[in-house]
Amino acid sequence: MPTPTGPRITRRILLGISAGIAAYKSAQLARLLRQAGFEVRVVMTEGAQAFIAPLTLQALTGEAVRTSLLDPEAEAGMGHIELARWADLVLIAPATADLMARLAAGMADDLLTTLCLASDAEKVMAPAMNQAMWGHPATQRNARRLAEDGWRLLGPDNGDQACGDVGPGRMLEPEAIMDALLSMAPDAAPATPTAPREAEGLTVVITAGPTREPLDPVRYLSNHSSGKMGFALAAAAAALGARVRLISGPVTLPTPEGVERLDVETAREMHEVAQRLAGECDLFIGCAAVVDYRAEAAAEHKIKKVEGEEGLILRLVKNPDIIAAIAARPDRPYVVGFAAETRDLEAYARDKLTRKGLDMIVANDVSGTETGFGSDRNAALLLWRDGDEVGQVDLPPQPKSELALAVVRQALARLDAADTT
């Protein structure tokens, strides 16, 4: 993807909506954009209007919604060219497989595709479609072509789909799209003071997402971690001026702007990369949901059901304890761990803080639907060692982007206090 020649302030967003069931999320996205202070104008394809009414978007943005290239009143003033020139950023959410194919081919057969060709604004899309359509070679080829043409793709996300399938293809949640837009350029949000560069000159290493431990060539052990919290932490640390190196398990999230990403699959791979980077950082945040056990030996071929046998016995062995190993290093950085619990949150967090030799721990309850795995909101209990005492603060439920900023700032404050004692 071409590198921008310089920063550009994004205040005017053209929101394109194409014909997917995820169009209902575009109303919330438009509301969030307006709340953040952006000017928003909406263009809808003909098919998108079958999923959400233009009047809804007009009410949310305060602007007339454009739906037709051949609108006589608008075209009297070359309306599509005017729209193309007006926008600082073109955001298409959802972007269907059909729209991606038409844009990749350079077609201009409706208002949305026409103004995309006519605009030199930054361009972002959030794909949304059935998992089989997303995985089809033609769609993947189109995605690569669009990236080469300068489009930035956000997602898609992995999970349940409206058709009943499960897999990659669902549109990112509006809050996650907002986080990604703001992380693309810290100065993009209008009427917002520049954030203090509290982490300038520091190097931060963060682990995020799940790990996968193979059982055979087609099956693995894993968990429900989406990686959203770890990626939000990386975006927050980068926005505060740190050099950020993100060790990510298998997730479908876009890399935050200014963050160096290293992808891994298994706990042992994550352990090896973490140990390699830990000696070169000031702050280490272990946010990944590392699978505790792996198969003693993964099967070379797919494990088959055996007629007459009602069960399968697997021998599992412990994976390395990544965060404890970092905390035990003689050249250790300031170490922050995470504790995802379903009960007795404070008791388990205090035990983990002491037992693993951490400097600080972020404990959250993942048993609920509002702040559990995959949610765009979270709450946390922060505990840290303060001499012989343990300090603590409760952070209430809030968007993960805001929670991440609070966590990073608290860690930086504790790191500064430790350096001055």
288 is in an annotated binding site: yes
Write the secondary structure of 130-152 as one string of H (helix), E (strand) and C (coil). Answer: CHHHHHCHHHHHHHHHHHHCCEE
52 is in an annotated binding site: no
Residue 147 corresponds to which amino acid? A
Identify the DSSP state of 282.
S
What's the token pair of residue 28?
A: 């919330």
**Residue 399 and residue 377 in contact, taking contact as beta carbons nearer than 8 Å:** yes
338 is in an annotated binding site: yes
323 is in an annotated binding site: yes
Catalytic residue (choose from 1, 163, 218, 413): 163
71 is in an annotated binding site: no
419 is in an annotated binding site: no
CA–CA separation, 206 vs 211, rounded Å? 14
400 is in an annotated binding site: no
Instruction: State the sign of the Cα–Cα–Cα–Cα dihedral 302, 308, 309, 310.
Output: positive
DSSP 158-209: EEE-TTS-EEEEEPPPHHHHHHHHHHH-TT-STT-PPPP-TTTT-EEEEEES
Identify the DSSP state of 267.
H
164 is in an annotated binding site: no
Q: Is 163 annotated in the active site?
A: yes
356 is in an annotated binding site: yes
CA–CA separation, 287 vs 404, rounded Å? 11
279 is in an annotated binding site: no
Nearby residues of 138 by Cβ (< 8 Å), 6 or more positions away: 101
Could you tell me the CA-to-CA distances from 188 to 10, 89, 191 in Å, in that order? 5, 10, 9
Q: Which residues are annotated as a binding site for CTP?
A: 286-288, 292, 302, 320-323, 338, 352, 356
Binding residues: 286-288, 292, 302, 320-323, 338, 352, 356
- Positions marked active-site: 163
